[in-house]
A and B are shown apart, each in its own frame.
Chain A
Amino acid sequence: MQNTYKYGFHKPENYVFKSKKGLDVGVVEDMSDRKKDPAWMRLFRLKALDQFFRKPLPIWGGNLTTINFDDIYYYINPTDKRASRWEDLPVEIRDTYDRIGIPEAEKKFLSGVSAQYESEVVYKSIHETLSKKGVIFLDMDSGLREYPEIVKQYFGMVIPPGDNKFAALNSAVWSGGSFVYVPKGVRVDLPLQAYFRINAANMGQFERTLIIAEEGSFVHYVEGCTAPIYTTDSLHSAVVEIIVKKGARVRYTTIQNWSTNVYNLVTKRARVEEEGIMEWVDGNLGSKLTMKYPSVYLVGRKAHGEILSIAYAGAGQHQDAGGKVVHVAAETTSQIISKSISRGGGRTSYRGLVQIIRGATNSKSKVVCDALLLDEASRSDTYPTMKIDEQDVTIEHEATVSKIGDEQLFYLLSRGIGKAQAESMIVNGFIEPIVKELPLEYAVELNRLIQLQMEGSVG
């Protein structure tokens, strides 16, 4: 969202440690030392680094050829201590988050916040009731340190480093991110939330999140991030792994609004056991190029997965997003709803996979993709894949690309509403089925952003 980037400021750099530019074995070993990684994690990182160097860049999706991997800082640690109260945070960092408006948000909605500034989580506050219930909500580094047995069991299980080049990169240089563990039968009613920010020029963000929901539990995790504008490109390559056990439910909501020089290449995947439910709500508004396909692997009977995706591409942006569902077990169901908007030369691409493995009898899947092209310069693509290896299934896919309907526009204009406002109303109505699933403050901000884009200065 280029011309309305009101968060495009950055703080003068004041870091305790910053790695040298570029990536090699030395940088990873040094990082592992500073983090005091256990031996198995150090080995994990080094093996992943090797895989990263060996894998080629993907030739599908967006244009990745302009990323210069040697011109990035892979590790920055902003402060050495972690604050447990808002007031204990260093002034600069507090100031950054004040401008984004966290304190109000926290008072109203949240039960705990881990705020990420560069590569480290510097602030966390966990509501007392959560800890009493046995819920763990920490930054990933602390999670590894305090609960090594749990982390070791699940880390890399859903997304092994060899999965793709950027998962390998993340596995080698990951820092920060969240670790969430919800014990059996526990419902976390208020959403858990985290923010991210890229500050130093050429900073890569490699946070790693691991969420484990034990049997019958429920948690809603919310992630929203913003970054300042720089002339050189930034890289955000995150990995999110989620394990949903029998009868549990996890909802993971993201609103991404990176400034338009950021490459946002993320691997997100959930493994869902019997009767479990996974819901991805994915909003992609910013960045120069996003390649992100939240996935659900339905490995237990009657498991259910949903992916709700909104993408907005303005001038110079390419949102290559969608979702993947793999039905492994019988009687599993899935739904993918994708809504995308292209404007001012932006390009949105839906890329998705629905795969039915033999044995996944009586499974159902439905995919609906709608795309709006708002002007002549914009582009929209849809690239779905369906691989069906089982007869007893029902698979549907439909996609539509169009512009704002003339009749709808005429109806509003004839009631005295200006053209720009009418268009923004229609666009907001277009995305409404997904927006209503967002936490309130996101829904409000999203609607406002759309309005500004439609009514504001020409992009």
Chain B
Amino acid sequence: MIQEIHGNYASFEYTLHEHARLTVVLIVAQKADMDITVRVCLSGQGSSANVIGLVAGRGDHRITMHTEQIHEAQDTTSNLLVKAALYDQVQFSYDGVIRVEKLAQKTDAYQKNENLLLSPHAHARSDPALEILANDVRCTHGSTTGKPNEDQLWYLTSRGIPRRAATQLLIEGFFERAIMTISDTIHQEQIRKSLWQIL
């Protein structure tokens, strides 16, 4: 399921029943203020959800993204990856929670937020949270924020690629790692097209 976000506000809620599988890709690439909420509730045993958020922020806008991975049943899995490329003076704020209720034993839950700062005035805030009440689980989360890797840039520019184009390549690579995880190649192309409209 691919959702391109239009307009300033979007909220998605998914409830997964037994053995359900869900993959959601959210593309946030408008030149406007945005406030997005994604809530995934794994209430059926054996269900699994995969959420990918790709954000390209431009201009002087505020983009807020809020996610929830709620595990209520046993043997459930969730995997959330939010990648944001931030230009100009954009302000990006991500907060997300993985909540594993007491009965949701044998849960595997992952949450990752990666922010690429492409201008000195971009601002990122990241608040990933974990609330774990069951003990037989594996839950991890991570967050990294930084600018394009200087060594990688040097490698490309030393082969005659202008710096600007080299940075573009790195940004493509940044998103590609998430896009690659989607099994359907047609969907992959769709996603690339939507993203590159703004990048």
Contacts and interface: CB of A to CB of B under 8 A. Distances in A.
Interface of A: 371, 373-376, 378-403
A389 B144 contact: no
A397 B139 contact: no
A388 B145 contact: yes
Interface string B132-155: 111111111111111100000000
Top 6 A-B pairs, shortest CB-CB distance:
A373-B135, A382-B130, A398-B142, A391-B117, A386-B126, A395-B145
Given A373-B135, A395-B144, A401 B130 contact: yes
B135 A383 contact: no
A372 to B, nearest CB: 9
A48 B139 CA distance: 43
Contact of A395 (B118, B135, B143): B143
A388 B139 contact: no
9 contacts: A379-B132, A382-B141, A386-B143, A391-B117, A394-B145, A395-B146, A398-B143, A400-B138, A401-B140
Nearest to B103: A376
Contacts of A373: 132, 134-135, 137
A398 B117 CA distance: 19
Contact of A384 (B135, B143, B146): B143
A402 B125 contact: no
Contacts of B120: 390-392
A399 B144 CA distance: 12
A380 B145 contact: no
Contact of A391 (B119, B135, B136): B119
A399 to B, nearest CB: 5
Given A382-B141, A386-B145, A395-B143, A401 B132 contact: yes
A180 B13 CA distance: 56
A371 B146 contact: no
Nearest to B129: A383
Contact of A399 (B119, B124, B130, B133): B130
A387 B92 CA distance: 10
Contacts, number: 105
What range describes how many residues of B lie at the interface? 20 to 34
A400 B140 contact: yes
A374 B124 CA distance: 35
From B119, B135, B139, B141, residue with most partner A Cβ within 10 Å? B135
Contact of A397 (B133, B134, B137, B143): B143
Contact of B124 (A382, A388, A396): A388
B144 to A, nearest CB: 5
Contact of A387 (B125, B135, B138, B146): B125
Contact of B125 (A371, A385, A394): A385
Nearest to A390: B120
A385 B124 CA distance: 11
A397 B128 contact: yes
Contacts of B126: 384-386, 388, 397
A386 B124 CA distance: 8
Nearest to B150: A392
Given A373-B137, A393-B145, A396-B142, 6 more contacts: A371-B132, A380-B130, A382-B130, A386-B126, A391-B118, A403-B137
A403 B125 CA distance: 30
Contact of A398 (B105, B122, B125, B140): B140
B102 interface: yes
Interface string B46-60: 000000000000000
Contacts of B141: 382, 397-399
A429 B112 CA distance: 27
A221 B118 CA distance: 43
Nearest to A387: B125
B167 interface: no
A85 B194 CA distance: 78
Given A376-B134, A393-B145, A388 B115 contact: yes
Nearest to A365: B145
A322 to B, nearest CB: 12
Nearest to B124: A388
Contacts of A392: 120, 147
A285 B84 CA distance: 39
A420 B126 CA distance: 39
B129 A394 contact: no
Contacts of B134: 373, 376
B183 to A, nearest CB: 27
